[in-house]
Amino acid sequence: MLKIVLKNRKITYRDLASQLGMSEAGVKRLLNAGDCSMTRLLSICKIAGISLSDLLKANETGITHELRLTPSQQTFLQKNPHYFRYFCKLAVEECTPQQIATTCGLDHRSTMKYLRTLDKIGLIKLMPGERADTGLPSLVSLGATGEIFTREKYHSLAEILNWIKPREREGYNTAPLYYLELHPSTTKELRSELGELVGRYAQRALKDKALHKRENLLKLTFFYGLAERGFVGNIPKL
């Protein structure tokens, strides 16, 4: 997690080596071994601008960034949800504009229109070389609230279920559905356990992104839900 924090704060091995009075190779060995003295660890935390207690807490719970949209951003994205989806590709999936263009079949004109518009409304900063800086630290869980997030969550869920339908049981694709009758106290316990499970998945994802090369990771969408209703909806009159 320490390497994640350093990367989030854009502190390079060279920067750290300079401030610690070490060689860059020595810093790499120190961080990769994960075995340094308390004095050295406190020094690194000071350089990174994080307390030891906060570092330990982050190691246990992961790092979450709460994305807050301005009213004008909310209004624009509600009217133009495709721009929100493009932004999610950049910020959540951490794709480059070139990768998005390839996977979504976008031409250069469309790509630049997305980037310039998102830059104009303040969601990204368009950098030289057609790069996009979201201003969000890498390797974080992205939390967000608001009407656009709620609406797009259910839009994405419908798309995912339609995508899974012809592929269920292929690879890791699955969408099990069960009908249960539980006491309210049992339901409360189940919901709590599901929340803990999601938290463990999110924390494991952060660690995997830190430990493994991006091309060796599977892109997975994990979701769960509980609905206080029967298995079957309305049945029409005949």
Per-residue pLDDT of the chain (238 residues; tens, 9 = 90+): 677 677 766 788 899 889 989 898 888 888 877 667 788 888 888 888 777 766 665 565 555 556 778 889 989 999 999 999 999 899 888 889 999 999 999 999 999 999 999 999 999 999 999 999 887 755 445 555 567 878 888 888 888 889 898 998 888 898 888 889 999 999 999 988 988 888 788 777 766 766 677 778 888 888 888 888 887 777 777 8
In 3D space, the residue among 230, 235, 202, 205 whose CA is nearest the CA of residue 217 turns out to be 205
Long-range contacts of 43-48 (CB under 8 A, 24+ apart): 44/2, 44/6, 44/16, 44/20, 47/11, 47/15, 47/16, 47/19, 47/20, 48/2, 48/5, 48/6, 48/9, 48/11
Domain 62-167 fold is Arc Repressor Mutant, subunit A (1.10.10)
Domain residues of the chain, as ranges?
2-61, 62-167, 176-232
Angle at 73 between CA 71 and CA 77, to 5 degrees: 120
Which residues neighbour 41 within 8 Å (Cβ) at sequence distance 6 or greater? 2, 52
Question: The tokens of 50 are what?
Answer: 């994080």
Residue closest to 123 by CA, chosen among 81, 79, 73, 72: 73
Task: State the CB neighbour count (10 A cutoff) for residue 100.
Answer: 21
**Residue 109: predicted pLDDT:** 96
pLDDT of residue 155: 86
Per-residue pLDDT at 6: 77
pLDDT for position 220: 85
Q: What is residue 63's predicted lDDT score, i.e. its pLDDT?
A: 53
- Residues 168 and 175 sit within 8 Å (Cβ to Cβ): yes
Domain topology for 2-61: 434 Repressor (Amino-terminal Domain) (1.10.260)
Cβ 98 vs Cβ 175: under 8 Å: no
3-class state of residue 5 by DSSP? helix
> How many angstroms separate the CA atoms of 105 and 101, rounded?
5
Same-fold call for 2-61 versus 62-167: no
Measured distance CA(126)–CA(130) in Å, rounded: 7
